[in-house]
Chain A
Amino acid sequence: MPLIEWPKNTSEPDQWNQLSVLIKQLEPSQKLWLSGYLAASAESNMPNQIAQASVPAVESQLTILYGSQTGNSESVAIQLKETAEATGLQTELFSLADFTVKNLAKKSYITLVISTHGEGEAPDDAELFYEQLFSKKAPELTHLNYSVLALGDSSYELYCQTGKEIDDRLADLGATRFNDRIDCDVDFEAEANLWVNAVVKRLDSEFKERVSQDNITTLPLNNHLTTPTQIAISRKNPYAAEILNIQKITGHGSIKNTFHIELAIDPEIIQYQPGDSLGIIAQNHEHSVNQLLAHWQVSGDELYQFKGQSADLKTLLIEYVEISQISKPFVQFLAKHIDDSDLKSLATSHQLYEAFCHGNQLYDLLQKFDSSRSVSIQDTLDHLKQITPRLYSIASAQSVYEDEVHLTVNLEDATNSGALGLASGLLCEQAEVGDCVSIFIESNHNFRLPDDPQTNVIMIGPGTGIAPFRAFLQQRKQQQAAGENWLFFGNPHFSTDFLYQTEWLKLQKLNLLTGLDVAFSRDQVEKVYVQNKLLTKAQELWKWIENGAHLYLCGDANKMAKDVEQALLTIITEQGNLDTDAAKAYLKALKRANKYQKDVY
Chain B
Amino acid sequence: MPTNTKRMFIEMNQINNTSQPKPLEAVEHIKDDSNYLRGTIADELLNEVTGSVIESDTQLTKFHGIYQQDDRDLRKERSRQKLEPLYSFMIRARVPGGICQPDQWQAIDDMADRYANGSIRITTRQAFQFHGVIKNKLKATVAAINQHMMDTIAACGDVNRNVMCSANPEQSDLHQEVYQTAQQISDHLTPRTSAYHEIWLNGDKVITEPKTDHEPIYGKTYLPRKFKTAVVIPPDNDVDVLAHDLGFIAIIREQKLLGFNVTVGGGMGTTHGDPKTFPLLAHTLGFCTPQQVLSVAENIVKIQRDHGDRTNRKHARFKYTVDDHGIDWVREQLFERMGFNLEPPQNANFTHTGDRFGWGKNQDGSWNYTLYVANGRVKDDAELKLKSALRAIADIHQGHFRLTANQNLVIALVASQQKSQIEKLLIQYGLTKPASSTRLLSMACVAFPTCTLAMAEAERYLPDLITKIESIQEQHHIAHRGIMIRMTGCPNGCARPFMAEVGFVGKALGRYNMYLGGNKQGTRLNQLFDENIDEKQIIKHLDTLIGHFAQQGKDHEDFGDFVIRQGYVKKVNHGIEVNIKTT
Contacts and interface: CB of A to CB of B under 8 A. Distances in A.
Interface of A: 247-252, 260, 494-496, 498-505, 508, 516-518, 523-524
Given A252-B74, A495-B134, A523-B136, A516 B49 contact: yes
Contacts of B134: 494-495
B74 A518 contact: no
Tell me the dominant secondary structure on chain A's binding face: mixed
Contacts of B79: 502
A498 B83 contact: yes
A495 B82 contact: no
Nearest to A260: B82
Interface of B: 48-51, 74, 77-84, 86, 134, 136
A249 B74 CA distance: 13
Contacts of B51: 494-495
A108 B49 CA distance: 57
5 contacts: A251-B77, A251-B81, A495-B86, A498-B49, A505-B84
Contact of B50 (A496, A499, A505, A523): A505
Nearest to B134: A495
B83 A251 contact: yes
Given A495-B134, A523-B136, A251 B48 contact: no
A252 B74 CA distance: 8
Contact of A499 (B48, B49, B82, B136): B82
A247 B49 contact: no
Nearest to B86: A495
A500 B84 CA distance: 9
A495 to B, nearest CB: 6
A251 B136 contact: no
B44 to A, nearest CB: 14
Contacts of A252: 74, 77-78, 86
Given A251-B81, A252-B77, A499-B82, 16 more contacts: A247-B82, A248-B81, A249-B82, A252-B78, A252-B86, A260-B82, A495-B86, A496-B83, A498-B83, A498-B84, A500-B82, A501-B49, A502-B84, A503-B82, A505-B84, A524-B136
Indicate the member of A260, A494, A499, A516 with the most B CB atoms within 10 Å: A494
Nearest to B88: A495
B306 to A, nearest CB: 40
Contacts of A508: 49
Contacts of A247: 80-82
Contact of A504 (B49, B81, B136): B49
A248 B84 CA distance: 14
Given A495-B134, A523-B136, A250 B50 contact: no
B82 A501 contact: yes
A501 B84 contact: yes
Contacts of B80: 247
A125 B79 CA distance: 41
A518 B49 contact: yes
A251 B49 contact: no
Q: Kindly name the residue among A500, A501, A504, A505 whose own CB sees the greatest number of chain B CB atoms within 10 A.
A: A501
Best-buried of B49, B50, B86 by chain A (most CB within 10 Å): B49
Q: Which 10 A-B residue pairs are closest in the complex by CB-CB distance? A: A249-B81, A502-B82, A500-B82, A516-B49, A501-B83, A251-B83, A518-B48, A249-B82, A501-B84, A502-B84
A250 B49 CA distance: 16
Nearest to A245: B80
B420 to A, nearest CB: 42
A340 B345 CA distance: 95
Scoring B77, B79, B80, B82 by chain A CB atoms within 10 A of each residue's CB, the highest score goes to: B82
A450 to B, nearest CB: 25
A499 B51 CA distance: 14
A500 B80 CA distance: 10
Nearest to A513: B49
B50 A251 contact: no
A505 B86 contact: no
Nearest to A470: B82
A500 B49 CA distance: 11
The interface centre, meaning the residue of B51, B80, B83 with most chain A CB atoms within 10 A of its CB, is B83
Contacts of B74: 251-252
A96 B469 CA distance: 82
B131 to A, nearest CB: 15
A110 B54 CA distance: 63
Contacts of B86: 251-252, 495
A248 B134 CA distance: 23
A68 B59 CA distance: 56
A249 B83 contact: yes
Nearest to B73: A252
A252 B84 CA distance: 13
Nearest to A251: B83
Contacts of A502: 79, 82-84
A427 B48 CA distance: 32
A459 to B, nearest CB: 15
Among A249, A494, A495, A504, find the residue whose CB has the most chain B CB atoms closer than 10 A.
Answer: A495
A25 to B, nearest CB: 32
B570 to A, nearest CB: 48
A499 to B, nearest CB: 7
Contacts of A500: 82
Nearest to A516: B49
Nearest to A487: B49
A410 to B, nearest CB: 15
A496 B134 CA distance: 13
A499 B86 CA distance: 14
A471 B253 CA distance: 79
Contacts of B84: 498, 501-502, 505
Listed residue (B49, B51, B80, B81) with the most chain A CB atoms within 10 angstroms of its CB = B81
B72 to A, nearest CB: 13
Contacts of B49: 498, 501, 504-505, 508, 516, 518
Most buried by B among A248, A499, A502: A502
A306 to B, nearest CB: 41
A31 to B, nearest CB: 37
Nearest to A252: B74
A495 B49 CA distance: 10
A523 B136 CA distance: 9
Contacts of B48: 494, 517-518
A45 to B, nearest CB: 54
A500 B134 CA distance: 20
A260 B82 CA distance: 10
A250 B86 CA distance: 12
A37 B48 CA distance: 49
A251 B75 CA distance: 11
A495 B82 CA distance: 12
Contacts of B78: 251-252
Contacts of B136: 494, 523-524
Nearest to A248: B81
Nearest to B49: A516
A262 to B, nearest CB: 12
Contacts of A517: 48
A501 B50 CA distance: 8
